[in-house]
């Protein structure tokens, strides 16, 4: 919490590896992000960070399941393995039957759940946390700017 | 392979724009294919032209007559197999606009070997039996509705011995001329009859057709003929039919240069048009590309993704354009026989299209790769 312009978004961007500090050191989970190259930082984000944006930022031209699959394209999983994980993630957020739909065909809440599925799919621990949270309240999952599930 | 769906959906993000790019590339490569086919057709036609058939004209100009007496001297040149005198004069059929070329030849033994005419044996025999006999090309016979057996009156500026300028011939058959540069609206008549019947220019010919014994000797024979008439009142210029075909082509300009210049201009225009559309497309996609980078796609991956999209569209459109050009060939081959597209042209066409795609997408793709995620997501 803080007043406008106090640096909340900048801090989250730095922690999420989306931005780099102009000076100083930045260590997240024991890794020096300020010393990483652009490619290393991208790999680090793929391995450790799941993002759910305020406006969900789903790719509008591809289906929900393709959106959820995106982070897995960066792994060595086969197509079959990716689809199994995508189905599990969509089931977790209760959208297994909406996987073939494009974001424009989904409600705001459904889009949000697709974004959550995309954020957790590459990280089994995050999936477990999200699963517990979902069981508590499927309607009010995440509400904020960008939340990182590490 | 796993990125293919991403590429596919990227291509079809704005179907209207993709179709426009596709069409402009396809049209450009249809033109490329047709021009290359034209070049191949012309090369093919020239290489099919006989190199063993020499035409002896006056050195002054092709319209200057040569005395018939040159025939006997030419026949004595080593390597000459058949030499036939040829005279040409024009006439009209029924209307002043219906022009007919009359080709007067002497039907000596084996005379057809000194020409590119294909004449059925029955018509050939009939032609030799009558002095006023004529053979017409299939094209002109069809055009004017002539049938074998018809009498054909032709009006000419050359008067015959009775003072009339109307020449009447008996159509005894049809023929086909395989020389595509020779024109189709012509008839063959007998030179002895024509020369005897005309009032002026008796004993002259327009040129002589010479068939050589060995095609490899054609240049030597041509040189020897010209050497024999050097410094005489009737100096000659002897060229093979193939040489004449090449000269005719050169007279309209350097076809290769013209084709390359047109293709280069089209490709440059295409490059700018495609690059501008790609830039517009990527500006619209900045937030989506920022999301991809957020999820862990590297700058290089985003760069390659954009390049693949552009190259796929351009190469597919080029292939489509080249197929269109090939479909157009049967229609165009009525005018230029031998049109074809060698596999190398297809390969070069697709490679050029890929190059257009790569170059036009390179700058926008670099821009996309350098997107600052935080700024792009905040629409800054």
Which residues in chain A are contacts of B294 at CB distance < 8 A?
16, 18, 45, 51
CA distance B16 to chain A (A): 14
Do both A76 and A88 map to the same domain?
A: yes
Does B324 fall in a domain?
Answer: yes
DSSP secondary-structure letter at B66?
E
Do both B195 and B80 map to the same domain?
A: yes
Strands B166-177, B133-137: parallel, antiparallel or unpaired by DSSP?
parallel
pLDDT at A129 over 70: no
Structure tokens at B27: 């049209």
Do both B80 and B38 map to the same domain?
A: no
Output the pLDDT for position A133.
58
| Total count of domains within chain B | 2
Do both B21 and B135 map to the same domain?
A: no
CB contact under 8 A, A43 and B296: yes
Does B108 fall in a domain?
Answer: yes
Domain that holds residue A144: 52-148
- In chain B, the residue whose alpha carbon lies closest to the alpha carbon of A102 is B9
Query: In this structure, what are the phi and psi dihedrals at residue B313, rounded to the nearest 5 degrees?
Result: -65, -50
- Tokens 């002259």 appear where? B204
Which residues in chain A are contacts of B299 at CB distance < 8 A?
38-39, 42
Last residue of a domain, one of B186, B213, B240: B213
Does B277 fall in a domain?
Answer: yes
Does B183 fall in a domain?
Answer: yes
| Residues of B within an 8 Å Cβ radius of A | 2-3, 5-6, 9-10, 12-13, 287-288, 291-300, 372-374, 377-378
Does B82 fall in a domain?
Answer: yes
Q: Indicate the residue of A18, A47, A62 with minimum beta-carbon distance to B374.
A: A18
Report how far residue B146's alpha carbon sits from residue A113's, in angstroms, rounded to the nearest whole number: 84
CA distance A60 to chain B (A): 8
B373 burial (CB, 10 Å; 0-12 / 13-18 / 19+) is buried
Output the pLDDT for position B85.
94
**CA trace torsion A65, A69, A71, A73 (10° rounding):** -150
Q: How many CB pairs under 8 A join A and B?
A: 69
The CATH number given to whatever domain includes residue A58 is: 3.40.50.300
- Mean pLDDT for chain A? 82
3-state secondary structure of B230: coil
Output the pLDDT for position A142.
41
Domain that holds residue B366: 4-47+253-377
Percent helix, strand and coil across chain A, each rounded to 5?
Answer: 55, 5, 40
Do both A58 and A45 map to the same domain?
A: no
Query: In this structure, what are the phi and psi dihedrals at residue B213, rounded to the nearest 5 degrees?
Result: -70, -40
Do both B190 and B269 map to the same domain?
A: no
Output the pLDDT for position A12.
86
Structure tokens at B233: 């009142």
Give the start-end residues of each E strand in chain B.
53-58, 66-67, 80-92, 99-105, 117-118, 133-137, 151-156, 166-177, 186-190, 204-205, 207-212, 236-240
CA distance A22 to chain B (A): 14
Interface with chain B: mutation pick from A15, A18, A20, A78, highest number of B CBs within 10 Å: A18
Do both B78 and B143 map to the same domain?
A: yes
Does B289 fall in a domain?
Answer: yes
Tens-digit pLDDT profile for residues A9-60: 888 889 888 888 889 999 998 889 989 988 999 999 888 888 888 888 898 8
3-state secondary structure of A150: coil
Which residues in chain B are contacts of A38 at CB distance < 8 A?
298-299
Do both A56 and A95 map to the same domain?
A: yes
pLDDT at A141 over 80: no
Instruction: Using a pLDDT cut of 70, give the percent of chain A over it.
Output: 82
Which is higher by pLDDT, B99 or A135? B99
CA distance A59 to chain B (A): 6
Do both A62 and A43 map to the same domain?
A: no
Q: What is the pLDDT along chain B (380 residues), one digit of tens a residue?
A: 788 888 888 888 888 888 998 998 899 888 888 888 888 777 777 877 888 899 999 999 888 999 999 999 999 999 999 999 999 989 999 999 999 999 999 998 889 999 989 999 999 999 988 899 999 999 999 999 999 999 999 999 888 888 889 999 999 999 998 876 667 889 999 999 999 999 888 899 999 999 999 888 899 999 999 999 999 999 999 998 888 888 877 777 777 788 888 888 988 888 888 888 888 888 888 888 999 999 889 999 999 999 998 888 888 998 899 888 888 877 776 666 666 777 788 888 888 888 888 888 888 889 888 888 888 887 65
Structure tokens at B251: 């007279």
Which residues in chain B are contacts of A18 at CB distance < 8 A?
294, 373-374, 377
CB contact under 8 A, B298 and A42: yes
Contact present, B135 and B190 (Cβ < 8 Å): no
Query: In this structure, what are the phi and psi dihedrals at residue A50, rounded to the nearest 5 degrees?
Result: -120, 130
Strands B117-118, B133-137: parallel, antiparallel or unpaired by DSSP?
unpaired
Do both B174 and B319 map to the same domain?
A: no
| Total count of domains within chain A | 2
Do both A125 and A84 map to the same domain?
A: yes
Do both B178 and B33 map to the same domain?
A: no
DSSP secondary-structure letter at B86?
E
Interface with chain B: mutation pick from A22, A51, A61, highest number of B CBs within 10 Å: A61
Output the pLDDT for position A5.
83
Structure tokens at B376: 């792009």
Q: Indicate the residue of B9, B291, B296 with minimum beta-carbon distance to A42.
A: B296
Do both B63 and B141 map to the same domain?
A: yes
3-state secondary structure of B212: strand
Does A1 fall in a domain?
Answer: no
Output the pLDDT for position A7.
84
B282-317 in b/e form (b: 16+ CB < 10 A) is beebbbbbbbbbbbbbbbebbbbbbbbbbbbbbbbb
CA distance A97 to chain B (A): 21
Report how far residue B310's alpha carbon sits from residue B357's, in angstroms, rounded to the nearest whole number: 5
Report how far residue B70's alpha carbon sits from residue A110's, in angstroms, rounded to the nearest whole number: 98
């Amino acid at each position: 919490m803080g007043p406008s312009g106090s640096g909340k978004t900048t801090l989250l961007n730095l922690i999420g590896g989306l931005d780099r500090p102009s000076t100083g050191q930045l260590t997240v989970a024991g890794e020096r992000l300020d010393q990483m190259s652009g490619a290393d930082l991208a790999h680090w984000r793929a391995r450790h960070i799941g993002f759910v944006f305020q406006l969900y930022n789903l790719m509008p031209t591809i289906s929900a399941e393709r959106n959820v699959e995106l982070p897995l394209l960066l792994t060595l999983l086969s197509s079959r393995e990716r689809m199994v994980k995508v189905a599990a993630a969509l089931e977790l957020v209760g959208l297994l039957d909406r996987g073939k739909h494009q974001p424009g065909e989904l409600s705001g809440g459904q889009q949000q759940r697709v974004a959550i599925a995309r954020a957790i799919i590459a990280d089994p621990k995050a999936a477990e946390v999200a699963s517990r949270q979902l069981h508590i309240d499927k309607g009010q999952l995440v509400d904020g700017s960008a939340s990182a599930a590490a | 392979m796993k990125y293919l769906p991403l590429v596919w959906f990227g291509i079809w993000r704005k179907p209207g724009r993709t179709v426009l790019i596709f069409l402009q590339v396809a049209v450009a490569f249809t033109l490329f294919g047709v021009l290359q086919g034209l070049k191949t057709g012309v090369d093919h036609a020239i290489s099919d032209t006989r190199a063993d058939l020499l035409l002896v004209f006056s050195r002054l100009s092709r319209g200057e007559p040569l005395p018939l007496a040159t025939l006997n001297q030419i026949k004595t040149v080593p390597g000459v197999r058949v030499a036939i005198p040829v005279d040409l004069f024009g006439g009209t059929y029924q209307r002043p606009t219906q022009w007919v070329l009359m080709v007067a030849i002497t039907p000596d033994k084996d005379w057809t070997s000194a020409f590119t005419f294909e004449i059925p044996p029955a018509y050939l025999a009939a032609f030799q039996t009558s002095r006023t006999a004529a053979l017409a090309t299939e094209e002109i016979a069809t055009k004017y509705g002539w049938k074998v057996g018809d009498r054909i009156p032709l009006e000419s500026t050359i008067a015959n011995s009775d003072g009339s300028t109307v020449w009447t011939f008996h159509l005894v058959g049809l023929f086909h001329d395989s020389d595509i540069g020779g024109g189709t609206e012509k008839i063959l008549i007998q030179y002895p009859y024509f020369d005897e019947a005309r009032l002026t220019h008796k004993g002259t010919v327009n040129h002589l057709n010479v068939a050589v014994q060995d095609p490899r000797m054609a240049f030597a024979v041509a040189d020897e003929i010209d050497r024999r008439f050097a410094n005489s009142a009737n100096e000659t210029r002897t060229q093979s039919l193939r040489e004449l075909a090449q000269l005719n082509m050169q007279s309209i300009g350097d076809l290769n240069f013209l084709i390359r210049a047109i293709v280069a201009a089209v490709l440059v225009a295409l490059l700018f048009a495609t690059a501008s559309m790609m830039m517009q497309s990527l500006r619209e996609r900045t937030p989506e590309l920022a999301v991809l980078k957020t999820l862990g796609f590297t700058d290089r991956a985003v760069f390659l993704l954009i390049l693949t999209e552009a190259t796929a569209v351009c190469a597919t459109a080029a292939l489509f354009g080249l197929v269109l050009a090939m479909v157009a060939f049967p229609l165009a081959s009525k005018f230029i026989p031998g049109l074809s597209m060698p596999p190398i042209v297809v390969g070069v066409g697709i490679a050029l299209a890929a190059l257009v795609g790569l170059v036009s997408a390179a700058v926008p793709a670099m821009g996309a790769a350098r997107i600052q995620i935080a700024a792009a997501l905040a629409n800054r």
